[in-house]
Amino acid sequence: MKIVAIGCMPFDLEISCFGTLKKYIDNRHEVHLIIAKNRDNWTKTMISGIKESAKIVGISQVHLTKRFDYSAVTQDNVNVLRTIIEPINPTISIIPSLIAVNKMRMILAKSALLACREVRNILMYEIDKNESFLPSVYSIISDEFQVKISCLSAYPDYNKLKNKLQNKMKLINGCCKEIKSHVEEFESHRLVLLDRDHAQ
């Protein structure tokens, strides 16, 4: 299978889904990251951080957009994403939640959903506390958790990011008391086929 994960900020994908992506990679699936970058919202340090963390996990390729307009959902935004997504032809796309608290993530989510109209499986993540986000797919990442943390060391603000990740894990465990291990959670927008080993 081919999997595409789409993010807009440094560390979004590491915190939201790198454990799940690592599971797919370990099972010899091809994983691509798409970073919807506008001209000035990512420094060279941030770009090298995402590339280094992707290398730690074994991501097949990191795609950086040359432009993305975070002021509104536009056809141009959709086209920018589609030019990357269509040649990959993924089985699964992982995108931000359509009801993300953060406005940039919400605009990216709506643009990505339109760009992924041919993709059969779409999972959505949320980074922030959001009572409207109702996950239905849980990926157990006990074995992948330490790798997930090590990916954050690629960024200068490692300690701050590690705390953000640990707070996110506490939030998830608070909602899922029956799950006694580290998990990543997703809302399913479309779910036709998902490997049972990765959706528990």
Condensed to tens digits (0 to 9), the pLDDT of residues 146-184 reads 888 888 887 777 566 666 666 666 555 444 555 556 888
3 state DSSP class of 49: helix
Range of 187's domain?
Answer: 2-191
In a domain, 175, yes or no: yes
pLDDT in the model for residue 166: 63
In a domain, 200, yes or no: no
Number of folded domains that form the chain: 1
In a domain, 54, yes or no: yes
In a domain, 156, yes or no: yes
In a domain, 19, yes or no: yes
Name the residue with tokens 């099972």: 27
Among residues 75, 177, 11, which one has the least CA distance to residue 33?
A: 11
In a domain, 198, yes or no: no
CATH code: domain of residue 100 = 3.40.50.10320
Among residues 70, 75, 2, which one has the least CA distance to residue 35?
A: 70
pLDDT in the model for residue 164: 64
pLDDT > 90 fraction of the chain, expressed in percent and rounded:
50
End-to-end CA distance of the chain: 18
70, 103, 113, 124, 196 from 191: Cα distances, Å = 27, 25, 13, 11, 12
When pLDDT is averaged across residues 75-102 and rounded to a whole number, the result is 96
Express each pLDDT in 100-118 by its tens digit. Answer: 999 999 999 999 999 999 9
pTM: 0.85
